[in-house]
Amino acid sequence: MRVVIKVGSQSILSADGKPLMDVMTSVIDQIILLQKKGHKVVLVSSGAVALGRGIAKKILNKTYTSGVAEKQLLASLGQPQLMTIYTKLCEERGYLASQLLLTKYDFQTKRSYGNILRLLQKSLDQEHIITIINENDSVAVDELMFTDNDELSGIIAAQIGADKLLLLTTTDGVYDKNPIESDAKLIPILKLNDVLPDTSGKSSLGRGGMSSKINTARKMARTGIMTHIATLNHKNIIPELILNNAEIGTKIIPEQKQASRKKFLAFNQAYSEYSITVNWGLVKVLAKHSATSILPIGIEKSHGEFKRGDMIEILNPDGIKIGVGVAKYNASKLLEFIGGHNHPEFIHYDYLHIDYDSCITS
């Protein structure tokens, strides 16, 4: 089984940014147990900014603000320390820690996407290597930032064709109301179209919150991947969920499985500087869920100097994004073909994801 596990800053660090060594040790031990059973695991770990803030306070007695440049600096201070902890824990157990730092930009082209996937596939095949991923907060700003590591973990799960995504936090799961209320009840199972409770708010150390986790889980459900939202404080939570199928936390039920590349496109709604505008006729065809590729005859305009293999946003004539796909040829060739008959497809169905809700409401 392929599993992606995401742990948040608040789960592995104290409120003042100090590492919770017992928790981090337990995470590594649980992952090793899974890998010894033949499972392939990726760990997405937050904590760089919060750890950097704690280190700066301890060593320099300096408190930084939450400005973009200062958060970048804190990430650059905290990420080496975060990986030092994981590396030491792994090496003490005869394992190695593999680090991968990513931004949204890394997923904008087929080539860079392929490079990431090739590394992940190779590292997952190594029994004594634990792959650890974090957002590259030192360089990720504005449109290149993920919403949080919940989103990043979902993209990775879709990319490798994971069977399960575990979003581990300090909360037991999804509640029907704010869990601090005495009559709040844990929701053990959620389905894609269930009415969701108000989950506004975020953790004190990170950018995410329960709302972010539910949004990621619902996207996972659309791509055929099971998601568990549970607390990392539960003893042996990772093997309990994977090896014993324990009913812990909240489980989000997936729809029918898709091919891995369709999973990735369905989840990866990352910013792209490239786009095409299609006509209303093609929008109506795409809204029918049929296996339709995008031909130049249905395209009105293109935007940006993209190359073959780049990620392209698909807009309706009102400028609303209705999907994403991978270009089969570059912008200059498309300009020659736009609106014409008997030209090769620009985006093949296998590399096209359409948001049908957006098409229907167009």
Name the amino acid, one letter, at 322. I
What are the Cα distances from residue 198, in Å, to 103, 182, 268?
Answer: 29, 16, 25
Gap between the Cα atoms of 157 and 225, Å rounded: 8
> Cβ distance 262 to 225 under 8 Å?
no
What are the Cα distances from residue 108, in Å, to 147, 268, 309, 313?
Answer: 16, 9, 9, 10
pLDDT tens, per residue, the chain with 362 residues: 999 999 999 999 999 999 999 999 999 999 999 999 999 999 999 999 999 999 999 999 999 988 889 999 999 999 999 999 999 999 999 999 999 999 888 887 777 888 999 999 999 999 999 999 999 988 876 655 777 899 999 999 988 989 999 999 999 999 988 888 888 899 999 987 787 666 555 454 545 578 889 988 988 888 889 999 999 999 999 999 999 999 999 999 987 665 555 556 655 555 578 999 999 999 999 988 667 899 999 999 999 999 998 889 999 999 999 988 889 999 999 999 999 999 999 999 888 888 766 776 65
Q: What is the CA radius of gyration of the chain?
A: 21
pTM: 0.80
Q: How many residues does the chain have?
A: 362
Structural domains of the chain in order of their starting residue, each with its CATH number: 2-264 (3.40.1160.10), 272-360 (2.30.130.10)
CA trace torsion 296, 299, 304, 306 (10° rounding)? -30
Gap between the Cα atoms of 328 and 283, Å rounded: 20
Gap between the Cα atoms of 261 and 275, Å rounded: 20
What are the Cα distances from residue 50, in Å, to 18, 70, 79, 155?
Answer: 8, 12, 10, 23
Three-state DSSP at 48 gives helix
